[in-house]
């Protein structure tokens, strides 16, 4: 409810407290992941969605993991560097893709 009211910091703290007491509480894990995502912290949310998908086999969480990962990899603001032994230059790659279209 707090996250729906955009009180993200308070909601995140409450979910984290619940998870400290019961690390397998899937409702709190989903709430934390969703709240982090809604608050603009998709990288942080990704960790919790992945854990939720692993614990429960939840397809919705697995789909969210894939969507966040794809968005981060496709973003022109994605970090530079190596990934899978391939040099990644997101802005160059973005321009190359646009030229091919």
pLDDT in tens for each of the 101 residues of the chain? 666 566 788 999 999 999 999 988 999 999 999 999 988 888 899 999 999 999 898 888 888 888 888 887 776 655 544 444 455 555 555 556 666 65
For residue 81, the SS3 value is: strand
Considering only CA atoms, which of 14, 13, 73, 19 is closest in space to residue 42? 73
Domain borders along the chain are: 8-100
For residue 78, give the DSSP letter.
S
pTM over 0.85: no
So what's the pLDDT on residue 50? 92
Topology of the domain comprising 8-100:
1.25.40
So what's the pLDDT on residue 82? 45
Q: Which residue has the tokens 């993991």?
A: 65
So what's the pLDDT on residue 68? 87
């Amino acid at each position: 409810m707090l996250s729906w009211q955009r009180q993200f910091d308070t909601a995140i703290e409450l979910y984290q407290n619940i998870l400290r007491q019961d690390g397998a509480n899937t409702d709190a894990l989903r709430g934390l992941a969703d709240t982090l995502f809604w608050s603009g912290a998709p990288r942080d949310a990704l960790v919790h969605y992945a854990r939720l998908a692993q614990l429960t086999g939840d397809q919705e969480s697995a789909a969210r993991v894939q969507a966040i990962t794809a968005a981060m990899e496709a973003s022109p603001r994605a970090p530079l560097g190596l990934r899978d032994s391939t040099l990644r230059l997101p802005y160059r790659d973005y321009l190359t893709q646009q030229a091919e279209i």
